[in-house]
Amino acid sequence: MSEVEVKKIIKALNASDGAGVKLKRSIGTPEADYIDPFLMLDEFGSENKDDYIAGFPPHPHRGIETVTYMLHGQFEHEDSIGSKGKMKPGDVQWMKTGRGIIHSEMPAMAGGKLLGFQLWINMPAKFKKNKPEYFYIKGNELGIHKDDDKIVKVIAGQFEKAKGPQTNHNVEPIYFHIVLNEDKKFECEVPESHNSFIYLLDGELNIGNKNHNKTDNSNLILLERGNKLVVKANKKSEFLFIAGRPIGESIARGGPFVMNTKAEILEAIQDYNNGKFAKY
Ligand code: FE
């Protein structure tokens, strides 16, 4: 067994997206442009409604999957394939945009706290032209493991007997949301083929065997390859652990579109401008 060690600790950058929603971006930044297969990770949230009330009005996507996980507040979403619903705390929206989707995500509350995450997973060339697919996962459908030391919510992958609802996925994703009590350990196996990271929401962690810099909130902790992850909480901590098998293809980014070449980005822009997206 080789233990997973810390590669780099990155502070999330303040950014804004949609109609000016304030967020903290950690993947998709100059320091961590692409952690294959992960293209972007945003923490969006605020206790000030002016930071999020304008939401994410209708916009297109192509070539990626977006995984949205709400912890506080509510979001109303609607898309061009007819999916509609209100996301509540604990719920997950997993969208495979394939060849094209147009969607909107608007806050469904006038005040109060908003907190959520959006992760973008790349799709391999052979899936980028697939029909879009949409999965809505209610909080009570996630796998949940509880013991005296920790709570592990499983959005993807498996922890002990708790299984995530997203199975048979090409990158074999692992997506855990963990609350770990002070001085307790969290351990899990990780496929050596996978790239992985921890996103720390709150607390302070010690990861692996080697010394590393102090971890802090809203830090992205990139991890080395290995097959066993051992995390100790120096104080009660809350974090995400996310891993996936790299796709290993070149990428071209064009805002909400991620393809393999620049020409395919131009094609996506043309298709969108010609009104082709909403027809899928
Ligand atoms: Fe979007």
- List per-residue pLDDT tens for the chain, 280 residues long: 899 999 999 999 999 888 888 899 999 999 999 999 999 999 998 888 888 888 999 999 999 999 999 999 998 999 998 988 899 999 999 999 999 999 999 988 777 889 999 999 999 999 999 999 999 999 999 999 999 999 999 999 999 999 999 888 999 999 999 999 999 999 999 999 999 999 999 999 999 999 999 999 989 999 999 999 999 999 999 999 999 999 999 999 999 999 999 999 999 999 999 988 867 6
Is 279 contained in some domain? no
Of 124, 3, 156, 134, residue with least CA distance to 77: 134
Cα distance between residue 101 and residue 59, in whole Å: 8
Identify whether 280 is part of a domain.
Answer: no
Q: Are 65 and 95 in contact (CB under 8 A)?
A: yes
Whether residue 242 contacts residue 155, with contact meaning beta carbons closer than 8 Å, is answered with: no
pTM metric for this prediction? 0.96
Whether 47 and 113 have beta carbons less than 8 Å apart is answered as: yes
Say how many domains are in the chain: 1
79-105 pLDDT tens trace: 998 988 899 999 999 999 999 999 999
Report yes or no on 132 lying in a domain: yes
Output the CA 230–ligand 1 centroid distance in Å: 34
Is-contact 138 91, C-beta < 8 A? Answer: yes
| Residue 95 belongs to some domain of the structure | yes
Domain with residue 102: its CATH number is 2.60.120.10
Ligand 1 midpoint to CA 194 (Å): 25
Q: Is residue 204 one of the residues assigned to a domain?
A: yes
Question: What is the distance in A from the centroid of ligand 1 to the CA of 206?
Answer: 34
Q: Residue 229: inside a domain, yes or no?
A: yes
Domain of residue 22 covers 6-273
| Structural contact between residues 101 and 65, judged by C-beta atoms closer than 8 angstroms | no
Read off φ and ψ for residue 40, nearest 5 degrees.
-160, 145
CA distance 213 to 216: 9
Quote the ligand 1 centre to 1 CA distance (angstroms).
Answer: 39
Report the separation in Å between the CA atom of 66 and the middle of ligand 1, taken as the mean of its atom positions: 7
Helices of type H across 19-73? none
**Is 1 domain-assigned?**
no
CA distance 52 to 44: 8
pLDDT at position 91 = 96
Instruction: Write out the two tokens for 240.
Output: 């995400």
Question: Is 269 a member of any domain?
Answer: yes
* Contact status, residue 121 vs residue 173, Cβ threshold 8 Å: yes
